[in-house]
Amino acid sequence: MGMTLTEKLLARASGRTAVFAGENVWVNVDILMTHDVCGPGTIGIFKREFGKGAKVWDRKKIVIMPDHYIFTTDALCNRNVDILRDFVREQGLPYFYDIIDDPNGHWKFDPSKGELKRQYGNSYAGVCHTTLPLKGHTRPGEILIGTDSHTCTAGAFGEFATGVGNTDAGFIMGTGKILLKVPETMRFWLEGALQPGLMGKDVILHLIGDIGFDGATYRAMEFVGPGASALPMDDRMTIANMAIEAGGKNGIFEADQKTFDYVNERTAANGTKKDYEPATPDADAKFVYNKKFDLSKLEPTVACHPDPGQRKLAKELGHIALDRAYIGSCTGGKTSDFLAFARVVKGRKVKIDTFGVPATTQIVRELQTMTLGGQTVWDIIVAAGVRMTENAGCAACLGGPVDTFGRMNKPMKCISATNRNFPGRMGHRESQVFLASPATVAASALTGKITDPREFWT
């Protein structure tokens, strides 16, 4: 019997010729990522179990990035970043994307400088899942584990990527290994091309709506077919990112020339490991689910409150009046996301409070230099009335402390380019979050109601 792509990767990483769904295997990890929320706990477990003076298993395989609760005056959150810095210094870790430049300094957010202007040094990068590929830490064929559920984003690059808790991460820190149950694979065969105004976000919201928000629990979601190959890397990232929103263990695309070009460019630019060995699934692999989807038939899609499986079409929701719009996060805060948003709002004004948070500092720079019709993308969005911050990070995607930029501190209805909408996710427990593509968020910000972006798409 043949193996799926996920089985192939787990077989190789466990030193076996074959593994199949349901088996438990010890897997060698290529990259361990952690951030300011889970890093301190992971470090604590590592030290408790391996000893105060223990050294990590491989300095070059650990990537640490503060990104979640950064731009806040909450002293405990600021302290978390300092704990990461102390650990990085003690262990001599090369891949730490610190918020400040002084390796002996302390981080303190200064609210008197305002929320919009940059408050970070030169090493800071931004949201972990967007930063990993941008900084050359994602490679086809590898195993990437992170202390964050959306680590599955890296499956866009033909690797096995999944999120774990602090205990597993602490163990990996000491040994480089993790015990994993091989997931069953669901195959999503994509064909046809997306209509103008549709994005990767519409694809994944459609698929999750089809199977439900628990429809892929502990399963691999494998995205294949000509429709998958035609998607740009950013769309593949958006789709793999939300595999966890259906309960998936991982989401994965087969690596192709687009993947190789993207990865080769980033590893060369950042001096990270260049070599990798992609894997391909066997033709006779066994799937627990196998379904075709015609992308040309999709329409702008929204996941309604209170979970990512509540699928509706944007055009059916014009009766829902909104208080707020939000574009940002590892799902909807990439350059291509803001570009789609700008195409919709160019020369127009938003009607409701709208917040923009680029995922990474590199994206901030790109938006401030890339032009559309003679104006920078950044300026187009600001001119439309959007509050754009240079302080790239997770911001209100995960609610965060009360002073977090864009957080909903009272009950409201928000349309958001983020990935999760369980009650309380973006702040107040009684607020409602509607998940949509950046284009749909933009069109809805212009009208104050959920709106199909094709009305404004040019």
- Applying CB under 6 A, which residues contact ligand SF4? 68, 127-129, 148, 150, 329-330, 394, 397-398, 418-419
Specify the pairing of strand 177-181 against strand 24-28: antiparallel
Rank residues 206 and 407 by Cβ distance to ligand SF4 and give the closer one.
Answer: 407
Rank residues 13 and 128 by Cβ distance to ligand SF4 and give the closer one.
Answer: 128
* CB proximity list for 265: less than 8 A, separation 6 or greater: none
Smallest distance from ligand SF4 to CB 455, Å: 28
Rank residues 331 and 451 by Cβ distance to ligand SF4 and give the closer one.
Answer: 331
Distance CA 121, CA 124 (A): 6
Cα torsion 112, 115, 117, 121: sign: positive
281: number of CA atoms within 13 Å, CB side? 26
Closest CA to 329 of 443, 420, 195: 420
Which helix (H) or strand (E) covers residue 241, if one does? helix 233-241
Smallest distance from ligand SF4 to CB 338, Å: 14
Smallest distance from ligand SF4 to CB 129, Å: 6
Put the strands of the sheet holding 324-328 in their side by side order. Answer: 311-313, 301-303, 432-435, 413-416, 324-328, 353-357, 387-388
60: number of CA atoms within 13 Å, CB side? 4
Rank residues 425 and 454 by Cβ distance to ligand SF4 and give the closer one.
Answer: 425
Cα torsion 445, 447, 453, 455: sign: negative
Rank residues 151 and 267 by Cβ distance to ligand SF4 and give the closer one.
Answer: 151
Distance CA 144, CA 162 (A): 7
Rank residues 3 and 392 by Cβ distance to ligand SF4 and give the closer one.
Answer: 392
The helix/strand/coil state of 13 is: helix
Rank residues 84 and 330 by Cβ distance to ligand SF4 and give the closer one.
Answer: 330
Distance CA 297, CA 391 (A): 37
Smallest distance from ligand SF4 to CB 69, Å: 9
Smallest distance from ligand SF4 to CB 155, Å: 15
Rank residues 203 and 317 by Cβ distance to ligand SF4 and give the closer one.
Answer: 203
Rank residues 158 and 399 by Cβ distance to ligand SF4 and give the closer one.
Answer: 399
Smallest distance from ligand SF4 to CB 397, Å: 3
Of the chain, the end-to-end C-alpha distance in Å amounts to 49
Strand partners, 408: 427
Smallest distance from ligand SF4 to CB 329, Å: 4
**What does the buried/exposed string (b/e) look like for 269-287 if buried means 16 or more CB atoms within 10 Å of the residue's CB?**
eeebeeebebbebeeebbb
Smallest distance from ligand SF4 to CB 437, Å: 16
Rank residues 190 and 216 by Cβ distance to ligand SF4 and give the closer one.
Answer: 216
Smallest distance from ligand SF4 to CB 149, Å: 7
C-alpha 94, offset from chain centre: 23
Smallest distance from ligand SF4 to CB 37, Å: 8
Closest CA to 4 of 26, 16, 23, 19: 19
Which helix (H) or strand (E) covers residue 262, if one does? helix 257-270
Number of H helices, E strands in the chain: 14, 19
Rank residues 325 and 380 by Cβ distance to ligand SF4 and give the closer one.
Answer: 325
Smallest distance from ligand SF4 to CB 292, Å: 29
C-alpha 124, offset from chain centre: 17
